[in-house]
Chain A
Amino acid sequence: ETGVTQTPRHLVMGMTNKKSLKCEQHLGHNAMYWYKQSAKKPLELMFVYNFKEQTENNSVPSRFSPECPNSSHLFLHLHTLQPEDSALYLCASSQDARGYEKLFFGSGTQLSVL
Chain B
Amino acid sequence: GENVGLHLPTLSVQEGDNSIINCAYSNSASDYFIWYKQESGKGPQFIIDIRSNMDKRQGQRVTVLLNKTVKHLSLQIAATQPGDSAVYFCAENTEGYQKVTFGIGTKLQVIP
Q: Which of B12-20, B38-46, B68-76 contacts A (4 or more CB under 8 A)?
A: B38-46
List B80-112 residues whose CB lies under 8 Å from chain A: 89, 93-105
Q: Measured between C-beta atoms, what is the minimum distance from A84 to chain B in Å?
A: 18
Q: B1-32: which residues lie under 8 A (CB-CB) from chain A?
A: 4, 32
- With A42-B4, A98-B96 known as contacts, the answer to whether A103 contacts B101 (CB < 8 A) is no
Task: Tally the A-B contacts, defined by beta carbons under 8 Å.
Answer: 64
Given contacts A42-B103, A45-B99, contact A101 B93 (CB under 8 A): yes
A34 cross-chain contacts in B, Cβ below 8 A: none
Contacts of B56 in A (CB 8 A): none
CA A56 – CA B42 in complex, angstroms?
25
- CB pair B43–A90 under 8 Å, yes or no, is yes
Q: Which of A56-105 contact B (CB under 8 A)?
A: 56, 58, 90, 92, 97-105
Q: Are A100 and B32 in contact (CB under 8 A)?
A: yes
Minimum Cβ distance to chain A for residue B2 (Å): 11
Residue of A nearest to B49 (CB): A102
Q: Across the interface, do B97 and A99 meet the contact criterion of CB distance under 8 Å?
A: yes
Contact A101/B102 with A2-B43, A43-B89 known, Cβ cut-off 8 Å: no
The answer to whether A104 and B46 touch (CB under 8 A), given A42-B4, A50-B98, is yes
In the assembly, what is the distance between CA of A43 and CA of B4, in Å?
11
Q: Find out whether the CB atom of A31 lies under 8 angstroms from the CB atom of B102.
A: no
Known: A41-B104, A42-B103. A99 touches B45 (CB 8 A): no
- Kindly list chain A residues whose C-beta atoms are within 8 Å of the C-beta of B42: 107-108
Instruction: Give the distance in Å from the alpha carbon of A23 to the alpha carbon of B4 in the complex.
Output: 27
Q: Tell whether, in the assembled complex, residue B100 and residue A45 are in contact, meaning their CB atoms are under 8 Å apart.
A: yes
Q: How far is the CA of A60 from the CA of B96 in the complex (A)?
A: 22
Q: Is the CB of B104 within 8 A of A105?
A: no
- Most chain A beta-carbon neighbours within 10 Å: one of B32, B98, B104: B98
- Measured CA separation A71–B93 after assembly (Å): 22
Q: Does A4 have its Cβ within 8 Å of any Cβ on chain B?
A: yes
Chain A's closest residue to B41 (CB) is: A107
Instruction: Give the distance in Å from the alpha carbon of A105 to the alpha carbon of B4 in the complex.
Output: 20
Min CB gap A2→B, angstroms: 7
Most-contacted residue by chain A among B49, B89, B102 (CB, 10 A): B102
